[in-house]
Every structure is written in structure tokens, then in C-alpha cells.
Structure 1
């Protein structure tokens, strides 16, 4: 990551560039002075924007233009072509945007477009918004509230002792040692003060009282609220087998967890990863890159089969084996010893470090005790509002009505959490905007990245276009001939096209 910014070469748009032969929808790379830029044609309209996504510097020139937006090919951030504003997570910051002026067959980059707008008045009854949870959904929500002009009191309460950070990186580059810790914060610390966001870290919530509109803390005075967002996330499922509490057994959810695992890896030689989940296999890849001997133990016959199917699952399996990972599939761990894990088959896998990745469960206790509707997650309507008026939920805990599948779903993806936080924020301000963004996630295994858009809890047909073995393919999951989701490898632009098509099918 961080390699997507283009060099400032090509035509200088400030000096004018001919567009006579530029096709509708074309993207031309160039610069405005020394700044890398893109010129985009949409009919008789031209836009000039910065060339790098503000989330990990993805190359927007390789992205997709949809109406008056451009989408990043790496992680599907979305920007306005009219003013450069970040419209959809994971990017929160705008890209540069210049006013384009056409003179005959030439288009010139003029002055930069000013994004500063006067504050909009918040609803008169909205005095204080409280967000419980310091993860992706919570941070995106407080950011969007301020972006939308909300100027009232804003409090974020987080049990974590670190300010909101990039959780996906904990099992990827950061764990592998190829990303410094200063990449992780989603916002610098002075951001919260500048935006007048009261950030309460290492603070646990004891209870919420929707009727009285109160949040009770374990320590300190209760917080009154006019609107509340629950974004408490999830916690790892913990093993209860003998040896599960030994000090060399680690889980990976928080920054503290990742730091502890990195420290333990420096003293270890052999690691057993229990579970062939996304977290488990990403951790396996990262620890292999650190030079450890890695064994993966899982009850499945094929890794990731439940989410990605057998074809991609076999490719993931082969990719890890090619990098030296040893699999023990169709196996379960019965006990953990000081230097091994004992399998149900009677075999022992040597290990002086154990990483457990067997899933997570949503943190719904506060909602349950407050009497909110809960069923395998906090139930919300299409606007992400819970059964209590003025209380919203977003992220890993939210279970919402999905128009594509006709079912309620709950998704544990970083980008979905951020986008739900943004939608919830707008609805707190009275927007009445349904949440319809297709779920999207990415998973990286060494030099192979899998991008997945949509949601297929089950399917009856899989269609593969391209070459799976060459890591150049589109894999589509159908249920009753209805496309539910698509996974791509080496086809980022196609993944963006599918996302746009899924949006168009529901108006999302």
C-alpha cells in the first residue's frame, strides 16, 4: 500500500490540453503544475481532479467513473467529480479538484474548488449526539456529522485505549512488519480537538436508558443524549478447551492484540493458527513473512469455502502452501500445551505461539439490557434506527433488511461499518436515507488480493470467467439465477463495475 500515487508527468492541464479526440468517459493522466491530476470527460462536461485516492493513495486513473463520481479500484472509495469531496468510505478526505474551463478544443485547469461551506443548522431538538464505540463505524459517523454541518455537542465513548485505527491492517501489513504503526490511526489526535469531538478512551459503558436518554458509564457522570449511535463492534469467540488460557495463546482484534502478537512472534519459531478464517489466514501469511513456521488447523475441508466457495478456497490453500504454510484440515484442537496443540486425531502440532481465529460475536449486551430488539445482532430498519426512537446502530452489531437478498443480514466488514456510520449520521440529522450500499471487502494473501462485493449467504451456482490459476478471474455467485455477489482476483475494475450494477439494481 501507499504506492498508488502517480508521478507528476504528462500534459500540464493549466496550460491547456486538446480534447478533440478525447472519447466520452475517457480519463487522461497529467498534472496541474507539479500536482498529479486526471482530466475526465463526461459528454460535454470535463472534470479535473487529483490522481490519488486519499485512502492509501490508490490510483484513481485505474478506477471507474459512475455518473458524477469516480471510484477507487483498490478499496472502492468514492469521490465527487464536481468538487473532489469524499462521498463514501473508506476515504474520508477530499481529493484536489480544479475548475475546468473549455476554450474551443482546449480545456484548462483553473483555480482549485473551495470545499468550505457554511454550517447547516441541526434539527432544533438535537443538542448532543453520543456514539458508543471507537471503531470504523463510530469514527465515520462523527466525521460525517461534522461534514454535514452538525455543530452541537458530540461525544465518542470507546472501551479501547487507542483512538480509532485501521483495523484491517492489524492482520495484514502491520502484523507482517511492512507497515509502521503511524499508518494505523484513522485521524490524527489533534483532529478530535479541532472538530470538537469529545473522545473518551478506555471508558466502559455500564448501561443505556433509551427512555431517559441516558448513557451510564462505569466511572463518571452519566451522559445525556438527543441521539445515540451504538457501534460497539464484535469480540473474538474464545476457546474453552484445556490450555486456552496459556500466555502464548493470542487473539487478534485490537491494536493491543496485534502489538502483543508481534512481540510474541519475535520470541517464537513455530505458530499454530487455529481456524482458517480471513483473520486466521491473513495472520498466517503475515507471520510467514516474519519467518515463522506456520501450521493452520481447521475443521473445514477447504479454507474459506463457506464465503468464497471451493474454487477460490483451493487457490487460497495452494497459495499458502506455496509459501510454506502447513495445513491440518478436517481437524479440531482438543487441548493446547506449552509447546504444542493436541488434535482430535491424536496428532500433535509443535507450537510455541498459538493464534486463535474462529470467528467473532457481536457485542449486543447494552442493547439487550436496554430492551432493544436483538436477534443475532441489533435489529435496525432501513435507516439503521433500532426499535428505540433516536437510537441507531451501525457496524458489526447491526442487522438490517437487505433488499437484494430479501433477508436481514449482518456484515463484519470494515468498509460496510464505515458506510453504515456515514448513513446513520445523516439519518440522525433527519435525512431518512436507506442504507443500500453493497457490502465490500478485500483480503490479501502474500501478493494475491481477493476483492468481494455483494453478499451470498448461500448459492446454487458459481460462474468463473478468466483464469483462476493465473489469478485473473471473476467469480460470481448465483441463487436462482440471481447474482448475489462477485469475487475478483486481478480484476479490480470489474469489481467496481459489479458494485455499480448492484447499486443501480436497488437505487443504492
Structure 2
């Protein structure tokens, strides 16, 4: 944290006038940084950094009795410290505050109090909840259920060999060698046993017996449920060209995938990345940090133009080229012959290994065999419930009615999956809480982070504030004069304000 945020000793107190109404201030309590927030006559004191990645909350946005992180839009309750919106799950510490003689004094750190059990919903919660999927949505649902003090059975199935991990890090700092593996698990292994979450790894379901409310596993055994959450996520699109099945051709989705790529990178000099998507270019940036020569092959005219537009696409290409990446755009790989990638355009590229980042597809087979309504994903209502009562879906597979665009949308974003898991959890307990969050994601390329809020599959105009080339900009993607999405670079506060404005439009 910057020295300017060290601030005054809050135990000794500060003048009330130093904290005007609506303002924030960072000070010290012994060796801890504390954020003071004033709202009218009340002053709140919480930890100064987000529990997700350590973002400085003093640069965040105060909304009612909450504060939102400027980096990845986590949200915390200022009264209790509770992490009320992903991607943060751990609470902030809270301190008591005393006002006397025109000054504000920090008191003792408060003991953690479990969130109060809410009164909404039926008196009797379901006895058995089963979650299929060990990714963002599945983990967030299980964690939320226990945080809501649900006392029933939770069985969580994952066909992965690792407990739920922080997947965005797999293509960013961890792959680049800048983060230890300690960062990667969303929670330590003992979290699941401590919270009586029956996490079953390397376990797959093959069917849902809707009539008897049972999940059928690959070994033929059955698990009964009162509520079922499908959070099966997405899987990488596989290459179908000759040579794609060779052991040095990789995709990146799991921790095991990432470890394999890191092992390959240990002895490699050159690699080819197929696809100029977010995942492909994040992999390219991470591997450049390991001093590997990188060539990116993609059919697009510009990287990520479909999502971010031409101007941002040109900037992203230049950014990667400045860092040594070589692009082969408007071209495709036609075959992989050993350590050589052959292109449709006739060129050849040497490659010690290949990473394919050509997209993902939702894993809807389980929902399809159960007869659930599908529409390029699993169709859910505003409460994330499928066409079969008692069965919910969240994350990459869910297509839900978006109140901002007025369309049914499906979004493959990590934070969206986590927040949908949280909403599905409370609705499985009988709450009727609509999922109305504005979609959000971030993408990291070297020292540049791009934040994106909203959802714009199509737009008819882009308004640019600031200058993309100097890495200080905000882009508004509009259709019929209405802002559907906002992308930004180093405009964190504006990104938060755009998110809030979209929320207000939804409620109007």
C-alpha cells in the first residue's frame, strides 16, 4: 500500500472536520491500516484493503452502508464487515468508533459475529442440497449456504482432481510465475470438512432422475436431493486439426492444465497460442514473463474486437507487440507436425508447445438428459430456477433474463458465476431473490488491467473518454443511445460509478 495511505494514528484520534460527510480516510491502528467512512452522524471503521486481492478500499465507492472495491468490485457491509458480493468471501475486520469533543477515536477491534439468519422464506429449509460443479458458482453457493447458517446436508460433486481454485489466476500471475500455489485454492482443504460440506472430487454425474429427485452418478449410485444446483461450467473447445492430440498441445481450464503448461514452459523457448481471446492473450502475456517467444495465431482482424471494439483491439495488439508477441491474424492453424505449426496461409511456426484458447462451450449434457429447457445454455428464470422446480442453474451454463438489456443472456465471467451461485443458494433456501447484478469481468495484460461492466453483444456506437494509447480511458458501448457496457483502463472509480448507474436503470 502506498505511503500516502499510512495516515494518522486513529487511536489518538482525528478532528471530525478531517472526515467530512460522505468521505473516506485511511489511518493506522498499531500496524494495521484502517478505513474510516463517514455517513451523516455515523462513522464506520473497517480494514482498509479488500480481502480478495488487497485492493485499496479508500479508492472504492460507498453505496448506502457498503463499500465497493475499485479493483474487482467486491462489496462489503460497513456495519459488519461481511463480504456481501463476490469475488470477496472473507469479511473485513471492524473497529468500534467513539466521537467526543469534536474528535473521532478508534476503539477496540470487534469480535466477529455470524450474520443473522433472515426471516424470508419458508420456516423449513430443505434437508438435502446437492451441487454439481466445483468451480466459481458451485463453491460460492456452498459457502453462502453455510454463511446463511443452513444446517442441512450439502453434497458438492466435482469431476476435477483439485478442490475449487481461483481460476482467473491460472492465466495470470500463477502462470507467469509471480504467484505461489498457496494463492490458488479458494479455501483450504479443511474448510469443507469444518463446514460439513461433503466435497467429492473426481466424481461425475450421468443423469438426473427428476421423478425421484435423485442424482445418478457414473458408478450407478444415486444421491437424493431436495434442491439441486447445476454449476457444471464450461469446457474448452478442442482443436480438430491433424496433430491436435499430441501431448505438447494444451488447453487451459484446470489447475492440472496450468501445471502442465508450466512444466512445458520450463524447458521451452518458443510457443504458439491459438486464439486471440482473453484467455489466449492472458496466456501469451504470462508466458512472455517467462521469457518464452510467443506467436499468436487467430482468424480475427483485431484481438478481442467483437467484445471491446476496433480501437481497444488495436491497443491490445500494440501492447502485446511492445512486449514481444508476434501476431498472425486473419489466419488459422491447419495442422501440427511435431514441433511445427502449419498455417492456412502457408506459413510455418516452430513451437515447443501449443496452447489452444479458441473458446469454451457450456457443459449442458446433464441438463439435456434430464429434459430441462435449453437455449444455448440452461434456461433459468429471474431466481435462477430451471424449468423443473427445485433444480437451479448458475454460472457459465445459465441463460437468465437480464433486466438491463431486456434479453436472455448467458455470460462466461468468473464474478458473474460466483454471484449467481450466491443468489441460487439463498433461493434454494426459499428466498425469492432475483438475480439482477450487472455483469463484471477484468482481464490482465502485463501491467494493464481492463475492467468491463455490463453486457453488449451488439452496439451501434462507442464513446471514448480519455486516451486509450496513454492507458487512461473509459469506453461506453451504446445501442439506441443507451449505455449497455463500459470498458476502462485505470479508471476504477468511473467503472464503479458506471456499474451503479446501470443498477439504478435496472430498478427504474
TM-score by length of 2: 0.97
1:287-342, Cα deviation, whole Å (9 max, x unpaired): 11111110000000000000001111100000000111110001011111112111
Aligned partner of 2:8 in structure 1 is 11
Aligned partner of 2:77 in structure 1 is 80
Superposition pairs for residues 367-446 of structure 1, below 5 Å? 367-446=367-446
Give the Cα separation in 2 of the matches to 1:405 and 1:102.
46
3-state SS of 1:151 partner: coil
Q: CA deviation at 1:5?
A: 8.6
Question: Relative to 1, partners in 2 of residues 1:151 and 1:335: Cα closer, same or farther, differing over 3 Å?
Answer: same
Give the Cα separation in 1 of the matches to 2:31 and 2:294.
46
Give the Cα separation in 2 of the matches to 1:277 and 1:345.
20
Moved more, 41-50 or 227-236: 41-50
Moved more, 201-210 or 412-421: 201-210
Superposition pairs for residues 463-482 of structure 1, below 5 Å? 463-482=463-482
Check whether the contact 1:123–1:429 (CA below 8 A) recurs between aligned residues.
no
Give the Cα separation in 2 of the matches to 1:12 and 1:166.
35
Are 2:453 and 1:456 aligned?
Answer: no
Superposition pairs for residues 282-431 of structure 1, below 5 Å? 282-431=282-431
- Return the match for 1:115 from 110, 113, 119: 113
1:401-436, Cα deviation, whole Å (9 max, x unpaired): 111111111111110000000000011111111101
Question: Relative to 1, partners in 2 of residues 1:119 and 1:505: Cα closer, same or farther, differing over 3 Å?
Answer: closer
3-state SS of 1:15 partner: coil
- Return the match for 2:88 from 88, 91, 106: 91
Give the Cα separation in 1 of the matches to 2:151 and 2:4.
39
Are 2:237 and 1:231 aligned?
Answer: no
Q: CA deviation at 1:32?
A: 2.5
Q: CA deviation at 1:53?
A: 0.6
Aligned partner of 1:59 in structure 2 is 56
Give the Cα separation in 2 of the matches to 1:117 and 1:32.
25
TM-score by length of 1: 0.97
Aligned partner of 1:30 in structure 2 is 27
Q: CA deviation at 1:221?
A: 3.1
Check whether the contact 1:119–1:151 (CA below 8 A) recurs between aligned residues.
no
Give the Cα separation in 1 of the matches to 2:267 and 2:108.
55
Give the Cα separation in 2 of the matches to 1:117 and 1:351.
53
Question: Relative to 1, partners in 2 of residues 1:284 and 1:43: Cα closer, same or farther, differing over 3 Å?
Answer: same
Give the Cα separation in 2 of the matches to 1:99 and 1:110.
5
Q: CA deviation at 1:219?
A: 2.7
Moved more, 14-23 or 306-315: 14-23
Are 2:60 and 1:47 aligned?
Answer: no
Check whether the contact 2:5–2:26 (CA below 8 A) recurs between aligned residues.
no
Give the Cα separation in 1 of the matches to 2:149 and 2:360.
35
Moved more, 42-51 or 480-489: 42-51
Give the Cα separation in 2 of the matches to 1:210 and 1:6.
59
Q: Which runs of 5+ in 2 are unaligned?
A: none
Moved more, 321-330 or 57-66: 57-66
Aligned partner of 1:139 in structure 2 is 139
Q: CA deviation at 1:207?
A: 1.0
Q: CA deviation at 1:119?
A: 5.8
Check whether the contact 2:136–2:164 (CA below 8 A) recurs between aligned residues.
yes
Give the Cα separation in 2 of the matches to 1:219 and 1:507.
47
Check whether the contact 1:120–1:149 (CA below 8 A) recurs between aligned residues.
no
3-state SS of 1:134 partner: coil
Give the Cα separation in 1 of the matches to 2:153 and 2:223.
11
Give the Cα separation in 2 of the matches to 1:196 and 1:164.
16
Give the Cα separation in 2 of the matches to 1:491 and 1:14.
33
Give the Cα separation in 1 of the matches to 2:145 and 2:3.
32
Superposition pairs for residues 267-286 of structure 1, below 5 Å? 267-286=267-286
Question: Relative to 1, partners in 2 of residues 1:12 and 1:210: Cα closer, same or farther, differing over 3 Å?
Answer: farther
Q: CA deviation at 1:375?
A: 1.1
Check whether the contact 1:120–1:150 (CA below 8 A) recurs between aligned residues.
no
3-state SS of 1:20 partner: helix
3-state SS of 2:11 partner: helix
Give the Cα separation in 2 of the matches to 1:125 and 1:424.
14
Check whether the contact 1:5–1:57 (CA below 8 A) recurs between aligned residues.
no
1:248-267, Cα deviation, whole Å (9 max, x unpaired): 11001111111111111112
3-state SS of 1:187 partner: coil
Q: CA deviation at 1:20?
A: 2.2
Q: Which runs of 5+ in 1 are unaligned?
A: none
Give the Cα separation in 2 of the matches to 1:397 and 1:424.
13
3-state SS of 1:462 partner: strand
Q: CA deviation at 1:7?
A: 9.2
1:364-405, Cα deviation, whole Å (9 max, x unpaired): 000000000011100000000000101000000000011111
How many residue pairs end up in the alignment?
505
